[in-house]
Amino acid sequence: MTDLLLKYFRTKQQEVQSEKVYDTQCPFCSMQCKMQLIEQSVVSRKTFKTIGKDNPTSQGRLCVKGMNAHQHPFHKDRIMHPLQKVNGEFVQISWEKALQHIKEQFESIQATDGHDALSVYGSASITNEEAYLLGKFARVALKTPYIDYNGRLCMSAAATAANQTFGVDRGLTNALNEVPHTRVIILAGTNIAECQPTIMPYFEKAKENGAYIIAIDPRETATTKLADLHLKVKPGMDAALANGLLKVIIDEDLVDKQFVQERATGFEKVKEHINSLSLDEISTLTDVPIEQMRTAAIKFASEDSGMLFSARGVEQQIDGTHAVRNLLNILISTGKIGKKYSGYGAITGQGNGQGAREHGQKADQLPGYRSIENEEHREQVAKVWGVDKDELPRKGVSAYEMFQKIDEGKITGMFLMCSNPVVSNPNANFIKKALKKLKFLVAVEMFISETAEMADLILPTSSYLEDEGTMTNLEGRVTLREASRPCPGEVKHDWEILCEIAKVLGKEKYFPFTCAEDIFNELREASKGGAADYFGITYDRIRKEQGILWPCPNLDHKGTVRLFENEFAHSDGRARMIPVSNLSEIPKEKVDEEYPLYLTTGRIVSHYLTGVQTRKSSALAARNFESYLEIHPETAKRYNIEHNNLVSVTSKRGNIVVRSKLSEKIRKDTVFVPIHWTEAQNVNLLVGEDLDPSCKMPGFKVNAVRVAPV
């Protein structure tokens, strides 16, 4: 190096007056990649950079969202003070006034409209400690049955199916490091390449090792590229397709009879049902050729090991629970579960999609995966909380149904933490109309989201850089997010806000917490003996052992890496198979002359959910600054649509305008719109309100629409 260059670098180095490094985990998906924020002060300004950090799950990798995750917390629009709406405008107020205002409003609503008039809407992007505390807050501080959360729109079908089939629901039954060694993989309605990008090397390695990969998706995606066989199914027909595969497995005598006999119940009924079905009919319904079904089924059944993964493509359907149960029928009938290199994975979505569905945010649930309608469970949790079990409310209703109750005037107040339901719920016009009827809406937020915009009060909350706590990743591994950057402005943590509100409501003694670890220690007690038992997990252990997979019932227990090796979690130790019909119990919307195309919705790699965070990141926003309609060129031609046209997309519920993107990768009868944009581009203006009767999941993935150039 020349002297001149050396001198240049030296001066550059001197310009960096200080450097701070903060450990944290990515605020976005379920991989929960560990990362470090490097903050440098250079002369008069600060610069930030994010780098990956080694850990057993993401192994130091980051995707484009992770690398740019620091851009939104430092965005100028971040809320720094409590904001109250006065004559339609938000004005800054003190915490003291904000808390007093909440007390007055909550008390007045409960005095005039009853206890049940208050509702709580939570999230799977908050920590375990916060999810747990929010459930306790609703039941103990507000005494309302009405609490549910955004995971209802996300994991509810997979969770219900796994609970019904296996007796317990943990996203992956095996750790990710088994994936490279399995012989055959089914990827059903999951786009891991865009949604959990740092998981990909596990699957790429499997392929290198010779695994055969089968993808089921109506579109060709970066994920289906990995597949040896792509079943380009008609949207919403996964339950029927699974019947097709089961039929081949049974007809070809490929059932693992010993496994089915010893470890499951219900196989005979499934077989009887399958014998009554015709492959021709299934092929017509699914638009998957019989030969492809045969290849997939024979390959999956004949290999020694195999894994099956599902995500929202199969699950966000009004028969999502049954569709997943039928996929699990395939896994059980071929004996590919509870063994090395064989198992199931419902790929979790949000950062804490797993943990936040275990500890009491769900309408019918108490911590540790306990049921709020079970007397013994009520007793156990009431004891930990120091309340009388008869004082605990009963079960409430699901996320979308809370908005129906608001519309009916039965719920008049809402406490919203970490979600943007105006954009993420189906039938978005209705959600907005319902929210307008509320007497009082409080949003705990980092930004004025489309929903916070409608609030009477916004409370500023901390980000993933500042808020310490545990997050359970897609493997079921409980990890510790060591976030330690000081909160900016008057920002407080979500858990701190809950404790302060409880205090003004006179419930301080139930919320005495001074740090996240205090809350975790109570959660451990409350989950003890439950299905999701965290009792043996401590902050110290997580630090030393780089995360622990639940259940972990005591301090000497190593955690459970592989589930169901000896028995399933039902009391008889067996998995439950049930026959599943080809068609949904509640009919899905059909295409007709007026609405001739199927609309399906989903994600792209550069944005996250309703986009409130990623649209604030200059690097991510620059990659995709607007929504689009993916449409097959032949279909586009039929409706006089050219590439890059503004297109009007209309369903029975509403209308959006997005730009066309012609692509041969999508089925000719289907169009796709991503979910990350709002207002005239909010795809949920088009989605209908029917819900899966078993888990109340909306049908985000199948709706009938028409398209026309604007």
Ligand X SMILES: Nc1nc2c(c(=O)[nH]1)N[C@H]1C(S)=C(S)[C@@H](COP(=O)(O)OP(=O)(O)OC[C@H]3O[C@@H](n4cnc5c(=O)[nH]c(N)nc54)[C@H](O)[C@@H]3O)O[C@H]1N2
The binding site for ligand X (CB under 6 A) comprises 29, 123, 125-126, 150, 153-154, 188-191, 194-196, 216-219, 221, 233, 235-236, 238, 311-314, 316, 349-350, 417-421, 423-424, 444-447, 449, 461, 494, 600-603, 605, 607-610, 612-613, 675, 683-684, 687, 700-701
Distance in Å, CB of 475 to Mo ion, minimum: 17
Residue 696, token pair as written in the block: 């109340």
Distance in Å, CB of 12 to ligand X, minimum: 35
Residue ranges that bind ligand SF4, judged by CB under 6 A? 26, 28-29, 31-33, 58, 62-63, 65-66, 196-198
Query: Is 674 near Mo ion (CB under 5 A)?
Result: no
For tokens 């309608």, name the residue: 373
Of 240 and 381, the one with the shorter C-beta distance to ligand X is 240
Q: Which does 599 bind (CB under 5 to 8 A by kind): ligand X, Mo ion, ligand SF4, none?
A: none
Query: Is 154 near Mo ion (CB under 5 A)?
Result: yes
Distance in Å, CB of 27 to ligand X, minimum: 6
Q: Are 233 and 698 in contact (CB under 8 A)?
A: no
Of 473 and 645, the one with the shorter C-beta distance to ligand SF4 is 473
Q: Which does 355 bind (CB under 5 to 8 A by kind): Mo ion, ligand X, ligand SF4, none?
A: none
CA gap 73, 87 in Å, rounded: 29
CA gap 463, 356 in Å, rounded: 17
Q: Which does 62 bind (CB under 5 to 8 A by kind): ligand X, Mo ion, ligand SF4, none?
A: ligand SF4
Residue 398, token pair as written in the block: 């699901």
Query: Is 563 near Mo ion (CB under 5 A)?
Result: no
Of 369 and 495, the one with the shorter C-beta distance to ligand X is 495
Distance in Å, CB of 114 to ligand SF4, minimum: 42
Radius of gyration of the chain (CA): 25
Of 52 and 244, the one with the shorter C-beta distance to ligand SF4 is 52
Q: Which does 198 bind (CB under 5 to 8 A by kind): ligand X, Mo ion, ligand SF4, none?
A: ligand SF4
Query: CA separation (Å) from 11 to 4, 43, 49, 130, 199?
Result: 11, 11, 20, 46, 41
CA gap 580, 246 in Å, rounded: 11
Q: Which does 190 bind (CB under 5 to 8 A by kind): Mo ion, ligand X, ligand SF4, none?
A: ligand X
For tokens 């997309």, name the residue: 649
Helix (H, G, I), strand (E, B) or coil at 597: strand
Of 116 and 456, the one with the shorter C-beta distance to ligand X is 456
Q: Which of these, 512, 516, 534, lies nearest to 525 by C-alpha position? A: 534
Q: Are 146 and 305 in contact (CB under 8 A)?
A: no
Query: Is 349 near Mo ion (CB under 5 A)?
Result: yes
Of 63 and 428, the one with the shorter C-beta distance to ligand SF4 is 63
Q: Are 576 and 564 in contact (CB under 8 A)?
A: no
Per-residue H/E/C for 262-290? HHEECHHHHHHHHHCCCHHHHHHHHCCCH
Query: Is 698 near Mo ion (CB under 5 A)?
Result: no
CA gap 309, 319 in Å, rounded: 17
CA gap 620, 71 in Å, rounded: 9
Of 154 and 702, the one with the shorter C-beta distance to Mo ion is 154
Of 154 and 505, the one with the shorter C-beta distance to Mo ion is 154
Instruction: Count the neighbouring beta carbons within 10 Å of the beta carbon of residue 543.
Output: 11
Question: By the criterion CB under 5 A, which residues form the site for Mo ion?
Answer: 154, 349
